[in-house]
């Protein structure tokens, strides 16, 4: 028996027998070809088969996990339909390479490009391309697709990485858990595991070497622990934990429809974060009171050219109409850093996180930015939309954005196009500079939203993707805690709302601090909404203030985290 540590990908507990799923590339002969036309015809048939099968998978997934979770596979169709990707493969055939090798070489090139980024969301594109490559090679070689739907009840799926096409076949009643050698909290396997409510432990080192088919495994998807070759006592312990977890989860349902308040009745707003318009439905399903962060860059990343005004307008309008009169905060384009979009012409930089990105890029490309702002303003006629500007570091930037918005409003007025005349424009506080001048920014902005992921990274001067310095990347650092207090105080003094849309908003350890500091709005992943509502409702303001007073006297992240763990409710 051995306990292996990984990443907590999907909460919950499960026990069962291991079924190993292989991602191995099928064998084929790497041969030279003389009839390029015939080889291209073979490849085109594989393309057609891939698109047909993927469309079938999407329809099946809609029934099992809802339409909002089919976006991953829909993205595969978009990728393979991209003329650039098809040309990259076809051109290799013109050089005398067989279809299988052409697919492998072209896809490996894309995988290498996407894998080099520090952003986990973009690294997932490497997984997407790997999935496309594997499935095309299976079609070209006549190898049968992996059919996960056939695994027996009580199965723990074990794989180096569960690709989207594999996970699409999971039958929830048969799979007790998932363990992988790769992936993170935003990986496709994690997203779909959470959608199916299957516990998952990801990025377990050497898992494929250590696990054998049929081995008994007990997993804790909440802490990221997988116990392999588990004995009877361990299985019984984890089954008891599973039963308790399910009871607690069912108990959260009592918070559906309830107002979000502290134990002594202080109201706060509880919103959800989304990346695509269809995800707004998930926020409503989870009883979110609004959307605190709509990441718009995915509209740009999922396309091979700039999305025009109508495409953007329809996306924002769809989300607004889904939410009705509930608030929706749309973050304007946040590219650069680790979010590279090839067609936007961003050149390589030595320090991309400190370079030409987000509002800096947008204000230098007002033609692109104006299209987005015009689309958002037009969509504001269909719901309660607010505009949020990312990576603001000085008052000149928010003033420039506001002037641009006023110019667009005047243009819309002249054409008689409807929009919300009172639409608010806020600032995402995610840099030490913005934190230091929060009092000045509060005079320019209608609201604040704190992005704790980048705020922590920049405050600690830590590349959060670099494992050598990851020990410093913690929201519990005294400097980060003090920064949060300063930002919230500045907003409060100016009489504007302040929310938080980073991962820390759902951290139960931080809840008392955020209540004590006076945070108005928590914005979390949809699946965390009810749990966060319960956490907020467990604290009175007086209790929270007492905890915060102690924390503000502490000098290390370790002391703060340990103290908060002892006081968590």
- Name the DSSP class of 143: P
387 and 330 in contact (C-beta within 8 Å)?
yes
Question: Where would I find the H helices in 218-308?
Answer: 232-251, 280-285, 297-301
Instruction: Give the SS3 label for residue 387.
Output: strand
Give exposure, 78-92, as e/b (b: 16+ Cβ within 10 Å): ebbeeeebbebbbeb
From the candidates 188, 286, 362, 384, which is the catalytic residue?
188
DSSP state of 31: -
Q: Which residues contact 463 (CB under 8 A, 6 or more apart)?
A: 118, 353, 457, 469
Residue 177's SS3 state is strand
User: Hey, which residues does 180 pair with through a beta bridge?
Assistant: 159
Tell the burial category of 408 from Cβ atoms under 10 Å away from its Cβ (0-12, 13-18, 19+): buried
Nearest to 357 by CA among 458, 448, 443, 436: 458
Task: Check if the beta carbon of residue 353 is closer than 8 Å to that of residue 457.
Answer: yes
Is 245 assigned a catalytic role? no
Q: Are 450 and 502 in contact (CB under 8 A)?
A: yes
The tokens of 515 are what?
């209540």
Residues 6+ apart with CB under 8 A from 553: none
Confirm if 271 and 291 have CB atoms less than 8 A apart. Answer: yes
Cα separation values, 110 from 26, 94, 115, 126, Å:
20, 19, 8, 7
Length, in residues, of the chain: 569
Q: Identify the active-site residue in 98, 107, 362, 501.
A: 501
CA 219 to chain centre: 23
7-45: b (≥16 Cβ within 10 Å) or e: bbbbbbbbbbebbbbebeeeebeeeebeeeeebbebbee
Handedness of CA 304, 308, 313, 316 (dihedral sign): positive
The conformation of residue 12, written as its DSSP 8-state character, comes to S
Distance (Å, whole) CA 22 – CA 555: 48
d(CA 282, CA 341): 27
CA distances from 467 to 115, 202, 462, 556 (A): 15, 17, 10, 20
Q: Is 567 a catalytic residue?
A: no
Positions marked active-site: 188, 501
């Amino acid at each position: 028996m051995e306990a292996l540590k990984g990443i907590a990908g999907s909460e919950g507990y499960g026990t069962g027998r291991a079924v190993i799923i292989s991602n191995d590339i099928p064998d084929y002969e790497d041969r030279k070809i003389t009839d390029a036309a015939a080889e291209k015809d073979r490849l085109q048939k594989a393309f057609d088969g891939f698109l047909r099968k993927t469309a079938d998978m999407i329809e099946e997934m809609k029934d099992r996990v809802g339409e909002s979770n089919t976006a991953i596979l829909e993205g595969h169709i978009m990728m393979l339909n991209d003329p650039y990707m098809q040309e990259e493969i076809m051109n290799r055939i013109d050089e005398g390479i067989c279809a299988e090798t052409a697919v492998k070489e072209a896809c490996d090139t894309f995988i290498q490009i996407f894998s080099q980024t520090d952003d986990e969301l973009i690294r997932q594109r490497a997984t997407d391309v790997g999935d496309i490559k594997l499935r095309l090679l299976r079609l070209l070689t006549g190898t049968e697709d992996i059919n996960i739907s056939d695994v027996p009840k009580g199965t723990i799926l074990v794989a180096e990485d569960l690709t989207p096409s594999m996970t699409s076949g999971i039958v929830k009643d048969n799979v007790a858990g998932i363990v992988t050698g790769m992936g993170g909290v935003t990986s496709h396997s994690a997203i779909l595991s959470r959608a199916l409510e299957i516990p998952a432990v990801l990025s377990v080192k050497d898992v494929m070497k250590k696990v054998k088919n049929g081995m008994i495994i007990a997993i804790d998807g909440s802490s990221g622990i997988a116990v392999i070759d588990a004995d009877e006592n361990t299985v019984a312990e984890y089954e008891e934990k599973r039963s308790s977890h399910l009871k607690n989860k069912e108990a959260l349902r009592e918070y559906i429809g309830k107002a979000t308040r502290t134990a002594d009745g202080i109201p706060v707003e509880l919103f959800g974060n989304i990346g695509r318009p269809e995800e707004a439905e998930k926020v409503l399903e989870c009883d979110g009171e609004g959307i605190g962060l709509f990441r718009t860059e995915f509209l740009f990343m999922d396309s091979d050219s700039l999305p025009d005004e109508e495409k953007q307008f329809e996306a924002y309008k769809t989300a607004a109409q889904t939410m009705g009169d509930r608030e929706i905060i749309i973050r304007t384009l946040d590219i650069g850093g680790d979010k590279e979009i090839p067609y936007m012409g961003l050149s390589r930089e030595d320090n991309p996180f400190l370079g030409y990105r987000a509002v800096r890029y947008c204000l230098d490309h007002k033609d692109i930015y104006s299209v987005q702002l015009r689309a958002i303003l037009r969509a504001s006629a269909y719901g309660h939309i607010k505009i949020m500007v990312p990576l603001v570091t000085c008052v000149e930037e928010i003033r420039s954005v506001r002037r641009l918005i006023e110019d667009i409003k005047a243009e819309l007025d002249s054409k008689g196009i409807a929009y919300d005349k009172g639409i608010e424009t806020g600032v995402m506080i995610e840099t030490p500079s913005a934190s230091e001048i929060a009092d000045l920014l509060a005079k320019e902005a209608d609201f604040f939203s704190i992005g704790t992921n980048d705020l922590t990274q920049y405050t600690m001067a830590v590349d959060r993707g670099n494992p050598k310095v990851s020990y410093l990347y913690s929201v519990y650092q005294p400097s980060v805690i003090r920064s949060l207090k300063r930002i919230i105080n500045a907003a409060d003094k100016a009489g504007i709302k302040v929310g938080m849309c980073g991962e820390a908003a759902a951290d139960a350890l931080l809840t008392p601090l955020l209540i004590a500091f006076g945070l108005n709005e928590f914005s979390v992943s949809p699946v965390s909404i009810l749990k966060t509502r319960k956490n907020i409702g467990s604290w009175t303001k007086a209790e929270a203030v007492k905890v915060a007073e102690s924390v503000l006297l502490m000098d290390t992240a370790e002391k703060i985290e340990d103290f908060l763990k002892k006081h968590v409710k």
